[in-house]
Amino acid sequence: MQALFSQDARTIADRLGDALVTAIVKGDIASGSKISEPDLAQAYRVSRGPLREALRRLEGLHLVSRVPHAGARVVTLGLEELVEIYHIREALEGMAARLAAANMREEERRALTQLLDLHEENIEQSQGREYFQREGDFDFHYRIIQASGNQRLIDLLCSELYHLIRMYRYRSARMTARPAVALAEHRQIAAAIAHGDGEFAEMLMRKHISTARRNIERQFRAAGE
């Protein structure tokens, strides 16, 4: 019965993979930069074997792109790809909201509202401190997705698609710049879910995400490209 809760039930490649994901998402490893296997291996004090396995996983997450015999680069997310992802989010999170309205327990619905109360406080008193700007929105969507009950959908959105979105948010300092508007939309969605109105929740979620997509498009054009 090895260690009760062993310090590494997981393998080096797995932990390294997680570490690299957050490093890329947070920008510690610059987007677009080339990845040198010897350098990275030394930086994380691991061998190239586990590193290559971890990179294979990141490739599957579309966080790095590999060219055989030429090496791996951190992806650069352009407007094009971001818009594509938001269109997919629109379809999938709309579906998640509908399912959440059908499946959420009373306790979860209350917790969802309380989460938004917390967000409101943070918006007021700190004018959007970084963390809540970035991860708070994610928390809200995350809970709804979780409540969908569709495990494959959960994996798809939370473990395979959201990294790129978080990556974008860490790069664009103040993304929406309108946390109050987003909060109001969140409240509407939460209300629809609270009432068990799945159709309406789906509609509101789709509109919410499509609005966010348009903001991104506007922001990109304003930024020159």
Residues that bind DNA (CB under 7 A): 2, 9, 11-13, 34-38, 46-50, 52-53, 66, 68-72
List the beta strands (DSSP E) in the chain.
Answer: 34-35, 64-67, 71-74
Decide if residue 151 touches a second copy (CB under 8 A): yes
**Based on the number of CB atoms within 10 Å of its own CB, is 58 exposed (0-12), middle (13-18) or buried (19 or more)?**
buried
Whether residue 98 contacts residue 196, with contact meaning beta carbons closer than 8 Å, is answered with: no
Residue 125 binding target from DNA, a second copy, none, CB below 5 to 8 Å by type: none
Whether residue 196 contacts residue 102, with contact meaning beta carbons closer than 8 Å, is answered with: yes
Residue 76, classed as helix, strand or coil, is coil
Q: 11 or 126, CB closer to DNA?
A: 11
Residue whose C-alpha is closest to residue 103's, from 165, 153, 161: 153
Decide if residue 135 touches a second copy (CB under 8 A): no
Record the tokens describing residue 64, joined without a space.
């790095």
Per-residue contact flags (x/-) with a second copy for residues 45 to 84, judged by CB under 8 A: ----x--xx--xx-xxxx-----xx-----------x--x
Q: 64 forms bridges with which residues in the sheet?
A: 74
Decide if residue 94 touches a second copy (CB under 8 A): yes
State in angstroms the smallest separation of the CB of 31 from DNA: 17
Contact residues: a second copy, CB under 8 A: 9-11, 13-14, 49, 52-53, 56-57, 59-62, 68-69, 81, 84-85, 87-88, 91-92, 94-95, 150-153, 155-156
